[in-house]
Amino acid sequence: MFPRLAFLLLATVLCAAVNFKLYLKDGSDQLVREYQVEDGRVRYYSVDRSDWEEIPRDLVDLEKTERERQRLEALRRERAEEDRTERKAEREFRTELHKVPLEDGVYSVSGDEALPMKQAEPKTKGNKRRSILKAITPIPVVAGKATVEIDGTRAELVVADPRPAFYIRLEKTERFGIVRLRLKKESRVVEDVTIVPVTKETIEEQKEVEVFRQQLAPGVYKVWPVEPIEEGEYAVVQFTQDKMNIQVWDFAYRKRQP
């Protein structure tokens, strides 16, 4: 005997949230909203006829019916949970978007605040030694070398989170990400540039940090590192690949002192 039959004989089985099939032993079925087992009869609400009906209990395959009802109810609960999770994510998404100021720029995420970052002024500096070599070489076979740098060896903005997050709102968004800067005597190198002989094609090399990128709205993004970063100097950058067109917002990551 189906283990729940004794209980079903005494209890009312309701499933108002989802329709299911009441299976009969002759192989047919009825689409019902709920059913009750009472005094050797099964009383059920027929979806097709929108009314209550009765049938002898011996004609109903209660085991198969209850198994199907439970399966559909579990599926309903699963979908309800998915909907709840999705609605929660949408609310959090809208809340996060409202944090981003309407003015174009890059913002550091600090708790519930979005703090504007100061844009640095990148400068291109060439390699003087290679310039001399090019001058004495009869044909242009020496590749030009240059660096894109920003002044100073330390950023004003210091973050203590090894996975800092940033909002980007720009009217024209191209490639963007986070790069680690290389220290020089009085500056920080954003990227190395190679100028190919004859074609004058430029090849830009940056020490990119692997990041997640999330679009919050057209022209509005959130970016943060996939893995915790090491202490040092960094920058959020936007650039056009190999076009010598780069914008820089610098920051540093340092651990909090105990």
Distance CA 143, CA 204 (A): 13
- What pLDDT score was predicted for residue 120? 93
pLDDT class of 22 with cuts at 50, 70, 90:
very high
Predicted pLDDT of residue 79: 87
Percent of the chain with pLDDT over 90: 47
**How many structural domains comprise the chain?**
2
pLDDT of 139 > 60? The answer is no
pLDDT of 177 reads 93
Residue 195 CB neighbour total at 10 angstroms: 19
**pLDDT > 80? residue 144:** no
Q: What six digits make up the tokens of 33?
A: 């909203």
Q: Which residue has the higher pLDDT, 162 or 39?
A: 162
Give the mean pLDDT of 120-147: 60
CA distances from 214 to 138, 160, 162, 171 (A): 51, 22, 19, 17
Q: 125 and 66 in one domain?
A: no
Gap between the Cα atoms of 103 and 81, Å rounded: 37
User: What average pLDDT does range 235-247 have in this prediction?
Assistant: 80
The domain boundary residue, chosen from 69, 96, 123 = 96
Q: At which of 30, 64, 96 does a domain end?
A: 96
Tokens representing 51 are 């009314």
User: What band does 113 get if pLDDT is binned at 50, 70 and 90?
Assistant: confident
- Is the model's pLDDT at 128 over the cut of 70? no
Q: Which two tokens stand for residue 198?
A: 């004859």
Identify whether residues 234 and 111 lie together within a single domain: yes
| pLDDT recorded at residue 2 | 40
242, 121: one domain: yes
Q: Among 187, 225, 181, which residue's Cα sits nearest to residue 206?
A: 181
Are residues 10 and 120 located together in one domain of the fold?
no
Q: How far is CA 128 from CA 125, 135, 187, 202, 240, in A?
A: 9, 11, 17, 18, 26
pLDDT of residue 186: 92
End position of a domain, from candidates 96, 113, 128: 96
Q: What is the pLDDT of residue 136?
A: 37
- Which pLDDT belongs to residue 115? 92
Question: In which element (H, E) is residue 92 found?
Answer: helix 62-99
The whole-chain average pLDDT of the chain stands at 81
pLDDT band at 253 (very low <50, low <70, confident <90, very high): very high
Radius of gyration for the alpha carbons in the chain, expressed in angstroms and rounded: 34
Question: Whole-prediction pTM value?
Answer: 0.60
Are 76 and 132 in a shared domain?
no
For 48-100, what is each residue's pLDDT tens digit?
Answer: 999 999 999 999 999 999 999 999 888 888 888 887 877 766 666 667 788 88
pLDDT band at 9 (very low <50, low <70, confident <90, very high): very low
Q: Is 255 exposed, middle or buried (0-12, 13-18, 19+ CB in 10 A)?
A: exposed
